[in-house]
Amino acid sequence: MNAATLPAIGLAAALGCGGTCADTLVGANGDRLSGHVLEQRDGKIIFLSDLFGRLEVSADKARVEPDGLVAAPPASAVAAVPVEASSPWSIDVGVKLNVDRGSLKTAEDKLDTTLVLSRRNVNGELHGSFKYQYKRTEDELRDDDWVVSLGYDRFLSEHRFNAARIMATRELTSDGYDLARTVSLATGWRLWETPEHYLRVGPALGYLFLTRSQQQYDGPALGVYARAKTPFLGRAVLTGELQLLDSFADGRYASLELRVRHPLGERLYVAMGWNYVWSDFAIESGFTSEWRWDIGWRFGPAGGN
């Protein structure tokens, strides 16, 4: 494409939209360009400017303000880069690495899996996880535990967000199954936000449902919600999520999950996770701490974070 054709493409895009559906590219210094977003991926924004034609800028140097309408850019631009309004689903499936030590052979069946999913667009980010552990030793069930978490961070502005989150856990004990369920709503601040790293933190209002050895507790609580992501030691990525809910006189409950994932190829990866849960109630007081090693496969954008 030569320089003479760039303004023509921008003009064709504007005429095709009837002048009502242009996006705006806003630079870190406040400069604004009208045009169309062609793609946002891997920390880059591909933008078709009405004035300068096709541009590629780093996502930490600019942001896009859509007008809410969707219009097709010129055919030449579509052929060059496909239009993508939001990121595809990112789905990780992992299996825990187990190492059995000892000289005695024991008949044992194990299953330990992890499923992590996420999707992000200009309006917000959906993130969820599911973990399941099963172990039967000498025909005796030892583990039949699962943890599921689902949350959505809604972007209100460049610096503010709202969030909703649900979490449920089940753990096999000698007295049956212990259950914990939390529902929470939060609002807060987006700090250092780019596709590669961010910190979102703010106050939360929630509700707790706990079952411990046939005893139950439920009630409202106030607390803190935080979620973070950052590059870690080269190509690895560190993510974390914290939920702390305090019902004041009745007790408090906290869950923290940290995960470091390092790619071994385009889709194969190895991950290390740490899950920490703490509770302090009349029906239970204590904590659990678990380290996990997973080797897994990513379904979705190859090589993404």
Highest-scoring range by mean pLDDT, 51-55, 113-117, 173-177, 259-263: 259-263
> What are 202's strand-pairing partners?
225
Pick from 80, 107, 129: which residue ends a domain?
A: 80
Assess contact for 245 and 253: CB atoms under 8 A.
yes
Pick from 62, 80, 98: which residue ends a domain?
A: 80
Residue 262: per-residue pLDDT: 92
Residue 269 clears pLDDT 80, i.e. is over it: yes
Shared-domain flag, residues 186 and 251: yes
Domain with 15, as residue range(s), is: 3-80
Number of domains in the chain: 2
Shared-domain flag, residues 54 and 133: no
Max distance between CA atoms of the chain, in angstroms, equals 77
Residue 245 clears pLDDT 90, i.e. is over it: yes
Pick from 56, 80, 104: which residue ends a domain?
A: 80
The H or E element that residue 11 is part of is helix 6-17
**CA-CA distance, 128 to 139, in Å (whole number)?**
33
Q: What pTM was computed for the model?
A: 0.66
50 in a domain, yes or no?
Answer: yes
Average pLDDT over residues 11-20: 42
Segment 38-70, tens digit of pLDDT: 888 778 888 888 777 788 888 888 888 766 444
Residue 11: per-residue pLDDT: 38
Residue 93 clears pLDDT 90, i.e. is over it: no
HSE-up of 187 (CA within 13 Å, CB side)?
A: 3
Shared-domain flag, residues 52 and 148: no
CA angle 180, 174, 131 (to 5 degrees): 45
Shared-domain flag, residues 47 and 162: no
CATH number, residue 60: 2.30.30.100
Shared-domain flag, residues 240 and 123: yes
- Backbone φ/ψ region at 138: left (φ over 0), alpha (ψ -120 to 50), beta: left
Percent of the chain scoring above 70 in pLDDT = 78
